[in-house]
Amino acid sequence: MADCIFCKIAAGEVPSQKVYEDDSVIAFKDLSPQAPVHVLIVPKKHIRSAADFAAEDKELAAHIFVDVVPKLAADLGVTDAGFRLVLNTGDDGGQTVPHLHVHLLGGRKMTWPPG
């Protein structure tokens, strides 16, 4: 999508503090971190939100949660202490960029409710 900031980051048109990249996913540091470790895991394919996953995206979803999340958590040093994954969907769900992205947060004790 031409005007999507995450599509532009994935295409290398907008700089980011990249921490991981492969053929289908890019992960980079959040510009407004809510924890010492706060990265966004973004599929390179434009998917508006979790509500817009299609059957053809099953492998991509599995790749994010089975391959990328554990690798990043280990690489960023948050596996043992624990971390939080957040996937906001839609305006009422707190999604601010209309491109699917998973927040990986760690490096401190997470509180409930999230804040």
Kindly report, residue by residue over 10-66, the tens digit of the pLDDT. 999 999 999 999 999 999 999 999 999 999 999 999 999 999 999 999 999 999 999
Q: What is the mean pLDDT of residues 87-96?
A: 95
- CA 6/CA 64 separation, integer angstroms: 16
Q: What is the mean pLDDT of residues 94-101?
A: 96
pLDDT for the residue 111: 86
- CA 57/CA 114 separation, integer angstroms: 28
3-state secondary structure at position 19: strand
Question: What pLDDT digit, counting tens, does each position of 31-45 carry?
Answer: 999 999 999 999 999
Residue type, 10: A
Instruction: Kindly compute the dihedral angle of the four CA atoms of residues 41, 46, 49, 54, in this order, to the nearest 10 degrees.
Output: -110
Q: Residues of the chain with pLDDT > 70: what percent?
A: 97
Catalytic machinery residues: 101
3-state secondary structure at position 62: helix
